[in-house]
Structure 1
Amino acid sequence: MNKAFTKESDEADDDDPQLPLALSGGKNYITPQGYARIRGELLDLIDNERPKVVEIVHWAASNGDRSENGDYIYGKKRLREIDRRIRFLTKRLEIMEVSDPSVHHGSDQIFFGATVTYIDDAGVQRTVTILGVDEADSSLAQVSWVSPIARTLLKARTGDVLQLVTPAGIVEIEVLSVQYPVPGPNGSTV
């Protein structure tokens, strides 16, 4: 029989997304805000979205013939997607290590959570914030702490000239400034 006419099993949909390899001895740093956002997403899926979809699937199943019932078929598929995301987020939260960057406020040395302004040898100035793998967003000038630029910048200080290895070759960059969030009154960041 031609493979094009065989039915795929539902188990193919249950494959978990691949987790990034354990980084630097298994550490997966994240800011308190990033942890709260990911935990909030997980709790919303468990407490709100999943029960709504279960209710729809239950209602659709009570209508009879499930083979052509769009609400039932779509609901079951959506339920698998939600369960997959819940498993993924749960695994990620288990290996996260919350690191508050505000403890370094006032320091000129670059650590996790720093916002760093640097200039390259072509005179282009850039500002990046070094965050966790699960929270960095390049469109907001945020880079993962395991990215090449972050690895080059970490532990450097204001005024240091560093060698950044790029696909185009080595680029010299100079650290212009380092900033951290201000600690809040109860130890939280502002």
Structure 2
Amino acid sequence: MTSKANLITPNGYRLLKEEEDYLWRVERHEITKKVTWAAGLGDRSDNADYQTNKRRLRQIHSRVRFLRKRMEALTVVSPSPEQVGKVYFGAWVTLETEEGEVKKVQIVGSDEIYKHTSPCSIDSPLARAMVGKTIDDEAVVNMPDGPIYYTILAIEYDQ
């Protein structure tokens, strides 16, 4: 089994930080007010508002703990001038299949694939096949049904 890379793009890290900030500074504050209000109504065991908001508060605390631990373990990778013209982490790659289908993906860390519009995890077979390639190179992804061939049409990096 291959190990997962703890890499993240600067934009991906910013999104995680924004989520953590929002949960901790905004949503937690609002839910705490609701819990306090609901607790003042009396019997907490039959109080749906109290129970629901306490559960949400626990979810917020759990997610914030996860995000903080995860952000400590991540390495933010910014593009460098040496990468220009080759596919590396953070690259936006325009690919064409043998059938002529064109798609554009960005090679990102596993922590950012769920909030990304066109992700390609650095741990995926496609990303591994593209790393180090240049424009007009062929990236071959070996699949159970046979290899898939992609031609690299363009490589860009966020500034």
Q: By the TM > 0.5 criterion, same fold?
A: yes
- Residue 106 of structure 1: how far off its partner (Å): 7.3
Letter of the 1:49 partner, please give it. Answer: E
Q: CA RMSD in A?
A: 2.1
Count of aligned residue pairs for this structure pair: 158
- Residue 163 of structure 1: how far off its partner (Å): 1.8
Q: Which runs of 5+ in 1 are unaligned?
A: 1-20, 182-188
Query: What is the TM-score with the length of structure 2 in the denominator?
Result: 0.88
Q: Distance in 1 between matches of 2:123 and 2:145?
A: 20
Q: Distance in 2 between matches of 1:56 and 1:148?
A: 47
CA offsets 1:118-169 (integer angstroms, 9 cap, x no match): 2222332222111121112587222111111111101111122232112321
Q: Which runs of 5+ in 2 are unaligned?
A: none
Does residue 154 of the first structure (1) align with residue 154 of the second (2)? no
Secondary structure of 2:90 counterpart: coil
Higher relative contact order (CA 8 A, sep 6+): 2
Q: Among 56, 77, 84, which residue is 2:62 paired with?
A: 84
Moved more, 86-95 or 120-129: 120-129
Query: What is the TM-score with the length of structure 1 in the denominator?
Result: 0.75
- Percent identity between the aligned chains? 35
Q: Is the contact between residue 137 and residue 143 of structure 1 (CA under 8 Å) also seen in structure 2?
A: no
Q: Distance in 2 between matches of 1:138 and 1:53?
A: 24
Q: Among 20, 28, 33, which residue is 1:50 paired with?
A: 28
Higher helix fraction: Structure 1 or Structure 2?
Answer: 2
Larger Rg: 1
* Residue pairs, 1:1-190, within 5 angstroms: 23=4, 27-101=5-79, 103-104=80-81, 107-137=84-114, 140-181=117-158, 189=159
Q: Distance in 1 between matches of 2:34 and 2:101?
A: 54
Higher strand fraction: Structure 1 or Structure 2?
Answer: 2
Q: Distance in 2 between matches of 1:132 and 1:119?
A: 22
Q: Distance in 1 between matches of 2:60 and 2:144?
A: 38
Secondary structure of 1:92 counterpart: helix
